[in-house]
């Protein structure tokens, strides 16, 4: 009977896990459209297909085609479109380009604040097809607007549609709109649709400079069917250096907004595999649900003031879309939990249900299990990187078999926990062992109440555990019934934390599996009545067997295939000053593609001044000297060079002699620029622009750019030591080279300058 109760308890745990995930994401409807909104998934998918036919990064031929397609679709709806052409510079990312934003407006009946629908239409350079990021967002807006207009209802508020350009280069289209367009001052709320993968639930994240309670209440009033979010994500997000288009609206114009973004299948992010075929259709449906519910609500609501003076805790919770309560409850709930804990210990000792000696002994297995789960998970992933060095070439850190690894590590941690408790606490009563986890959880809640209040909903599992402790103290229930009852009481704990155990390694990379390991140990401690048994041999054997099976399965799927391609890289670097040339690669492991260049004579490390700026600060792993091809570099003319007072004023004109995709300017010494302008865009607006050393500008050439103009002033005695790298993505097509193409199991490595010719030279000024 004990074994039956254990099996039933495990089934309840598995059912709760399934429930927690199924509530986060909708299933595709049998009907073609959402009944309430007439949003057609078929239409949206057609948009994604046409937008993601080819790479459409800024400066590519397809970039123009995608822009023309979007404009045509908006015109079909009867909307007048505007193309805002503006050079924009983002000092945080040292990035600039001439952006071409697509803008349209649905006129409202009143003159209040406007609602903005926002996504970006450029894809990541240079190989991503951009189906999810952010073709899915563009398609959601296009079809959502069509469905909205089909109802022939005039909105109360103006609805501004901004499909921004150059988001992938540094939020440049959004910056151009916020800083230069007259409509920016009219906006009261922004709805932004984004992606950092190609599947999974879409999470809601707020952007606000103030408190969140009014934004949250308005979001709930919009009645989205599948809200997926929690205030921990919001709290962490506010502390991080965020980088979505919506961030520009908050930082530069103090405009509130919502991000709707999905992070599942992170291995497709910014790669050639971000394709129509790999976009999860249910994820697109989730984005559609967010858009239709929020558009139909905010188009008719008051957007004049969404600021508030109070923050709310919120989270997904059983039988409710979102459980919410104010931050002001955090401290009282913690105090109540502490008082209840002390009262229960007092009665437990008085009724001889709790032994103080055994309670102190109970800290040993819990603390050891926390340390073991965290350290073994961390160390084992490091070992796996040694065993499978090609994982290092997946720069965002989530491998194709990443989901299998998550499951394998879950069972490994369960095995560690069962073994630890069996070894250190075989004879102790479970009630004595429960005190240590509750005590540690209360300490964690105390720290969170000070430093990260958004995560304070983790007091809920503590109350579940206190309820279990109270029943164990005051009621005599037979063992098998107790196990099932206590597992049922723990359902909220499982429901809250199961998605987090998956989310951390998916969104932040598998190097963060140790966070999931620590979470599993913490949850296990509160659920000891479910898992801990004096004779747990069957659970140990099952956990061990499943650990071996899933690690074996992950190993079996550790290679690359046509569907899961290997990223690789080759770059040609030409130094026009000393007439030398090299090939470089970012790959840790060489393959048939890279080995056609890099044989046993390669040199480890990079090439000075030739490693361009990248998302993960990736450096060349190998380089090899090669023939100098004498590829013509850009003409650089000094249009103005004069000393006025203590300042030297310069204006440089850079004109390419071939198709160049971007220019990168590097300084080898501290540089203080005044009156710095890129084309006609002012960079520093009267302030100093100080660069200690390194890259101070990356200008991506747009299709409309024929040349680039830089003007600035420096102190007249200041020495200039500027290096210019000009980069083109035409290595594989250039007639000077005969590089064999990749096989079907390979793709260009994302996040770095790739398939490129880099010409580097010092500016003689």
Residue 163 has pLDDT above 90, yes or no: yes
Mean pLDDT score, 598-618: 83
DSSP states along 250-318: HHHH---EEEEEEEESGGGTTSTT--TTTS-HHHHHHHHHHHHHHHHHHTSS--S----S--EEEEEET
> At which of 512, 535, 556 does a domain end?
556
> At which of 310, 337, 355 does a domain end?
310
Mean pLDDT score, 427-454: 93
Mean pLDDT score, 219-242: 84
Mean pLDDT score, 418-431: 84
Q: CA neighbours within 13 Å on the CB side: how many for 409?
A: 32
- d(C-alpha 397, C-alpha 495), whole Å: 26
- 526 plus 628 within the same structural domain: no
199-207 and 95-106 strand pairing: unpaired
Among 236-240, 298-302, 366-370, 619-623, the minimum mean pLDDT is found in: 236-240
pLDDT tens digits for range 291-321:
999 999 999 999 998 999 999 999 999 998 8
- 139 plus 49 within the same structural domain: yes
DSSP-derived letter for residue 135 is I
- d(C-alpha 175, C-alpha 89), whole Å: 8
663: number of Cβ within 10 Å: 20
Tokens 């430093």 belong to which residue? Answer: 451
- 540 plus 571 within the same structural domain: no
DSSP states along 559-598: S--SSSPEEE--EEEEETTTTEEEEEE--SS--TTGGGT-
- 545 plus 571 within the same structural domain: no
pLDDT tens digits for range 690-727:
888 889 999 999 999 999 999 999 988 888 889 999 99
pLDDT at 30: 60
Distant-in-sequence contacts of 71-75, Cβ < 8 A, 24+ apart: 71/102, 73/47, 73/142, 74/102, 74/104, 74/142, 74/145, 74/161
The verdict on residue 125 lying in a domain is: yes
Which of the four pLDDT bands, split at 50, 70 and 90, describes residue 2? Answer: low
The verdict on residue 319 lying in a domain is: no
pLDDT at 612: 80
Question: What are 697's strand-pairing partners?
Answer: 665
Q: Do residues 126 and 754 make contact, with C-beta atoms less than 8 angstroms apart?
A: yes
Residue 734 has pLDDT above 80, yes or no: yes
- d(C-alpha 501, C-alpha 518), whole Å: 9
Q: CA neighbours within 13 Å on the CB side: how many for 589?
A: 16
The verdict on residue 101 lying in a domain is: yes
Q: Produce one character per residue of 39-54: b if its CB has 16 or more CB atoms within 10 Å, e if not.
A: bbbebbbebbbbbbbe
Q: Do residues 28 and 41 make contact, with C-beta atoms less than 8 angstroms apart?
A: yes
Residue 328 has pLDDT above 50, yes or no: yes
Directed axis angle between helix 41-51 and helix 281-298, to 10°? 110
DSSP SS3 for 646: coil
- 58 plus 200 within the same structural domain: yes
- 104 plus 156 within the same structural domain: yes
Residue 454 has pLDDT above 50, yes or no: yes
- d(C-alpha 129, C-alpha 125), whole Å: 9
pLDDT at 539: 86
The verdict on residue 33 lying in a domain is: no
- 409 plus 288 within the same structural domain: no
Residue 570 has pLDDT above 50, yes or no: yes
The verdict on residue 26 lying in a domain is: no
CATH number for 79? 3.40.630.10
Q: For the chain, how long is the longest CA-to-CA vector?
A: 93
pLDDT at 680: 85
pLDDT tens digits for range 19-40:
999 999 888 766 555 545 589 9
- 81 plus 210 within the same structural domain: yes
- d(C-alpha 361, C-alpha 431), whole Å: 12
Three-class HEC string of 501-514? HHHHHHHHCHHHHH
- d(C-alpha 200, C-alpha 506), whole Å: 10
Which ranges constitute the DSSP H helices of 351-458?
356-387, 402-424, 430-433, 435-451
Backbone angles phi, psi at 556, to 5 degrees: -60, -35
pLDDT at 370: 97
Mean pLDDT score, 749-760: 96
What percentage of residues in the chain have a pLDDT greater than 70? 97
DSSP states along 708-754: EEEEEEEETTPPP-EEEEEEES-TTT-TT--PPPPPTTEEEPTTS--
pLDDT at 35: 45
647-655 and 571-575 strand pairing: unpaired
pLDDT at 240: 59
Q: Residue 271's closest CA among 137, 112, 481, 126?
A: 126
Residue 354 has pLDDT above 90, yes or no: yes
pLDDT at 534: 63
User: What is the average pLDDT score of the chain?
Assistant: 93
pLDDT tens digits for range 82-117:
999 999 999 888 899 999 999 999 999 999 999 999
Helix (H) or strand (E) holding 465: helix 459-474
> At which of 516, 539, 556 does a domain end?
556
- 657 plus 744 within the same structural domain: yes
The verdict on residue 321 lying in a domain is: no
| Structural domain containing residue 706 | 565-765
Mean pLDDT score, 345-369: 95
Question: What are 396's strand-pairing partners?
Answer: none
pTM: 0.94
Mean pLDDT score, 323-330: 96
- 71 plus 175 within the same structural domain: yes
Residue 600 class from Cβ within 10 Å (0-12 exposed, 13-18 middle, 19+ buried)?
exposed
- d(C-alpha 553, C-alpha 546), whole Å: 10
CA dihedral 661, 666, 672, 676 (to 10 degrees): -10
Report the domain count for the chain.
3
- d(C-alpha 449, C-alpha 12), whole Å: 31
pLDDT at 3: 73
pLDDT at 689: 81
- 240 plus 267 within the same structural domain: yes
Backbone angles phi, psi at 591, to 5 degrees: -130, -170
The verdict on residue 31 lying in a domain is: no
The verdict on residue 177 lying in a domain is: yes
Distance of CA 349 to the CA centre of its chain: 49
- d(C-alpha 87, C-alpha 680), whole Å: 7
Residue 596 class from Cβ within 10 Å (0-12 exposed, 13-18 middle, 19+ buried)?
middle
Residue 250 has pLDDT above 80, yes or no: yes
Mean pLDDT score, 67-83: 97
What percentage of residues in the chain have a pLDDT greater than 90? 83
- 461 plus 503 within the same structural domain: yes
pLDDT at 348: 96
- d(C-alpha 720, C-alpha 231), whole Å: 48
Which of the four pLDDT bands, split at 50, 70 and 90, describes residue 241? Answer: low
pLDDT at 668: 87
Mean pLDDT score, 364-387: 97
């Amino acid at each position: 009977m004990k074994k039956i109760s254990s099996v039933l308890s495990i089934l309840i745990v598995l059912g709760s896990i399934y429930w927690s995930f199924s509530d986060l994401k909708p299933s595709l409807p049998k009907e073609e459209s959402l009944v309430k909104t007439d949003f057609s998934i078929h239409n949206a998918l057609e948009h994604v297909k046409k937008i993601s036919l080819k790479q459409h990064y800024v400066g590519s031929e397809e970039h123009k085609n995608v822009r023309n397609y979007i404009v045509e679709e908006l015109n079909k709806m009867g909307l007048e479109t505007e193309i805002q052409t503006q050079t924009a510079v983002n000092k945080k990312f040292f990035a600039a380009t001439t952006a071409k934003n697509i803008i349209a407006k649905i006129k409202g009946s009143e003159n209040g604040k406007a609602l903005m629908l926002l996504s970006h239409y450029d894809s990541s350079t240079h190989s991503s097809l951009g189906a999810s990021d952010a073709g899915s967002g563009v398609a959601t807006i296009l079809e959502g607007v069509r469905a909205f207009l089909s109802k022939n209802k005039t909105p109360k508020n103006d609805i501004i549609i901004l499909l921004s350009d150059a988001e992938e280069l540094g939020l440049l289209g959004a910056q151009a709109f916020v800083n230069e367009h007259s409509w920016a001052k009219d906006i009261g709320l922004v709805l932004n649709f984004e992606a950092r993968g190609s599947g999974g639930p879409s999470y809601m994240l707020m952007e606000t400079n103030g408190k969140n309670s009014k934004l949250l209440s308005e979001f709930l009033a919009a009645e989205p069917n599948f809200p997926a979010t929690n205030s921990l994500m919001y709290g962490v997000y506010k502390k991080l250096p965020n980088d979505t288009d919506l961030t520009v609206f908050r930082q530069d114009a103090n405009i509130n907004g919502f991000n709707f973004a999905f992070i599942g299948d992170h291995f497709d992010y910014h790669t050639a595999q971000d394709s129509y075929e790999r976009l999860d259709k249910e994820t697109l449906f989730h984005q559609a649900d967010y858009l239709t519910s929020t558009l139909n609500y905010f188009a008719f609501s008051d957007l004049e003031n969404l600021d508030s003076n109070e923050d709310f805790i919120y989270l997904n919770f059983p039988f409710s879309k979102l459980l919410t309560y104010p931050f002001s409850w955090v401290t009282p709930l913690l105090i109540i939990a502490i008082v209840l804990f002390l009262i229960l210990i007092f009665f437990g000792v008085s009724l001889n249900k709790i032994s103080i000696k055994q309670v102190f002994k109970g800290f040993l297995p819990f603390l050891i299990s926390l340390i073991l789960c965290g350290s073994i998970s961390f160390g084992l992933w490091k070992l796996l990187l040694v065993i499978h060095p090609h994982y290092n070439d997946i720069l965002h850190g989530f491998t194709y078999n990443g989901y299998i690894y998550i499951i394998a590590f879950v069972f490994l941690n369960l095995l560690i926990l069962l073994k630890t408790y069996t070894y250190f606490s075989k004879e102790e009563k479970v009630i004595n062992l429960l005190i240590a986890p509750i005590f540690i959880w209360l300490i964690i809640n105390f720290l969170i109440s000070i430093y990260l209040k958004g995560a304070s909903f983790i007091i809920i599992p503590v109350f579940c555990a206190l309820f279990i402790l109270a029943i164990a103290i005051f009621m005599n229930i037979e063992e098998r019934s107790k196990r099932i009852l206590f597992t049922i009481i723990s359902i909220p704990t499982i429901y809250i934390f199961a998605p987090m155990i998956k989310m951390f390694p998916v969104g932040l990379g598998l190097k963060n599996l140790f966070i999931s390991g620590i979470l599993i140990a913490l949850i296990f401690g509160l659920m000891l009545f479910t898992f801990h048994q004096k004779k747990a041999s069957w659970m140990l054997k099952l956990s061990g067997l499943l650990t071996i099976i899933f690690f074996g399965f992950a190993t079996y799927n550790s290679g690359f295939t046509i569907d899961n391609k290997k990223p690789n890289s080759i770059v040609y670097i030409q130094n026009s000053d000393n007439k030398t040339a090299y090939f470089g690669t970012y790959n840790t492991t060489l393959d048939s593609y890279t080995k056609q260049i890099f044989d046993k004579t390669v040199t480890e490390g990079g090439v000075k001044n030739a490693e361009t700026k990248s998302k993960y600060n990736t450096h060349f792993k190998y380089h090899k000297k090669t023939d100098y091809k004498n590829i013509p570099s850009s003409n650089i003319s000094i249009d103005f060079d004069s000393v006025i007072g203590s300042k030297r004023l310069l204006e440089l004109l850079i004109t390419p002699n071939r198709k160049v995709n971007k220019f990168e300017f590097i300084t080898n010494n501290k540089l203080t620029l005044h009156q710095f302008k890129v084309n006609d865009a002012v960079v520093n607006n009267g302030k100093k622009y100080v660069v200690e050393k390194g890259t101070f500008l990356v200008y991506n050439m747009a299709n409309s750019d024929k040349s680039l103009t830089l003007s600035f002033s420096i102190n007249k005695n200041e020495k200039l030591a500027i290096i210019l790298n000009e980069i083109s993505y035409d290595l594989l097509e250039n007639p000077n080279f005969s590089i064999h193409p990749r096989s079907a199991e390979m793709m260009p490595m994302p996040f770095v300058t790739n398939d490129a010719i880099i010409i580097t030279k010092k500016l003689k000024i």
